[in-house]
Amino acid sequence: MSSSPTFKDKDEDLEAQVPLNPQPSNPTVRTEQEVSGTTKLLYLAVYFLCNISLTIYNKLILGKFSYPWLLTALHAGSASIGCYILLLQGRFTLTKLSLQQNIVLFLFSILFTVNIATSNVSLAMVSIPFHQIMRSTCPFFAVLIYRFRYGRSYPRDTYLSLIPLILGVGLATYGDYYFTAAGFLLTFLGVILAVVKTVATNRIMTGALALSPLETLLRMSPLACAQALVCAIASGELAGFKEQNPEGPSGALILTLAGNGLLAFCLNYSSFSTNKVAGAVTMTVCGNIKQCLTILLGIVLFGVKVGFLNGLGMVIALAGAAWYSVVELRSKTQKGGR
C-alpha cells in the first residue's frame, strides 16, 4: 500500500501496435472486442444497479433539490475525493502525461460541462417527451461516429436492431411534443455532444492514452467540479442556495448530500468501467434501456400511470435491446472463431 501517488510513463499508442507475440505488452488495456460476454453482463448489471439506486435515492430521499449545477459539482467533487482516496491506498497509479495529453483531458472536462449546460438550457425550450425521444437516437449517432471516424464495420443486423430500440423509446415516452426552433437545435446539439462525450471517454481509456477508469475519473472530476461551481455562481444557484439556507445546510441535508455523492461516485466509476469493457455504442444502448426502466420504476414504486402505447413502446425497446445483444454476441463469436 503506497502513501503517495506514483507515476508511470505512457508514450506509445497501444491500439496501433501489432504485437509480434500473443502476449500484449500491457494486458490491462482491453477493448470491448477482447472482453467476454459474461464479463460485459456483470459490468452492465452493476452499472444498472448503481443507476437505479441513484434514481430511487434522488426521488425518495433527496427530493426537489433544484440546483442542478451544484448537484453536478457535488457529484464531480465526490468522484475526485473517492478516486484520490483509492490512489493513496495504491489501488491505481498515475500516468506521466505530456502537456498535449493534459490539454486533451482539460478539453474533455469542458465537453462534459458543455454537454450538461446544453441539456439544461434545451429542456427549457422543449417538452420532456421530445427531449427523451431525441436522446433515444444516441445509439444511431454513436454507430455513425465509429463507422466514419474510426472505420469500424458493423453487421447489418446491428443497424436493424437500433430501429425498434429507438422507436420503442419514442413510444414509451410518447406525450406532449413541444419545441421551439432554437430548442430543437440545442437538443440535437446535446445529442451529438452526449455521443461524442461517450465515445471520447472510451477512447481515452482504450486509445493512445489508455488510462484506467479511476485515473480518467480522477483527472477529469476536479476540472468538471470547478467548472460546475463557476456555472452555479454565474446562474445564481449558489446565491439562491445561500438564501434558502441562511444559517448553512442542516445536518440532515449534509448527510443526504453525502449519501448522494457516494452513490454518484459508485455510478461514475461503474459507468467509466463499463464503457471501457462494453464500448461506447453499448453504453448509448444502455441509455435507452435506462429510460424504459425509469418508466417501469415509476409504475412499480410511485404508481405512475402510462397508456397502452407507452407500455408497448417499452416492450419494443427492450426487444430491440435484446436483439442488439444477440447480434453483438454472435459477431464476437464469429470473430473469435476466425
pLDDT in tens, 37-90: 788 889 999 999 999 888 888 877 766 788 889 999 999 999 999 999 999 999
- Length of the chain as a residue count: 338
Q: Which has the higher per-residue pLDDT, 220 or 335?
A: 220
- Per-residue pLDDT tens digits for 13-30: 333 333 333 333 344 444
In a domain, 224, yes or no: yes
Which H or E element spans position 54?
helix 37-57
**Measured in whole angstroms, how far is the alpha carbon of residue 126 from the centre of its chain?**
22
pLDDT bin (cut points 50, 70, 90) of residue 12 is: very low
Please report whether residue 27 resides in a domain.
no
Q: How many CB atoms lie within 10 A of CB 57?
A: 16
Q: How many whole angstroms separate alpha carbon 206 and alpha carbon 195?
A: 17
156-170 pLDDT per residue, tens: 999 999 999 999 998
Residue 125 within any structural domain of the chain: yes
* Residue indicated by cell numbers 449519501: 259
pLDDT (0 to 100) of residue 18: 34
The amino acid that residue 231 corresponds to is: C
Q: How many domains does the chain have?
A: 1
The CA R_g of the chain, rounded to the nearest whole Å, is: 21
The enclosing H or E element of 21 equals none
Distances (CA, A) of 101 to 10, 104, 150, 251, 264: 10, 5, 20, 41, 26
Average pLDDT over residues 301-312: 84
The neighbouring-strand residues paired with 94 are: 7
- How many Å apart are CA 314 and CA 133, to the nearest integer? 13
Per the structure block, which three cell numbers stand in for 41? 453482463
User: 11 lies in a domain?
Assistant: no
**Cα dihedral 146, 148, 153, 155 in deg (nearest 10):** 90
In this structure, is residue 6 part of a structural domain? no
The percentage of residues in the chain with a pLDDT greater than 90, rounded to a whole number, is 56
Residue 310 lies in a domain: yes
Per-residue confidence band for 9, with pLDDT thresholds at 50, 70 and 90: very low
Using the 8-state DSSP alphabet, how is residue 246 labeled?
A: T
302: its cell numbers: 410511485
Q: What pLDDT, on a 0 to 100 scale, did the predictor assign at position 7?
A: 46
Does the pLDDT at position 33 exceed 80?
Answer: no
Would you say residue 22 lies in a domain? no
What number of CA atoms fall less than 13 Å from residue 300's CA on the CB side? 8
Range of the domain at 214: 37-53+64-336
Looking at residue 60, its pLDDT comes to 74
Report the pLDDT averaged over residues 112-138. Answer: 88
**Residue 306 within any structural domain of the chain:** yes
31 confidence band (pLDDT: 50, 70, 90): low
Q: What is the pTM of this model?
A: 0.84
What confidence category does residue 336 fall into, taking pLDDT thresholds of 50, 70 and 90? low
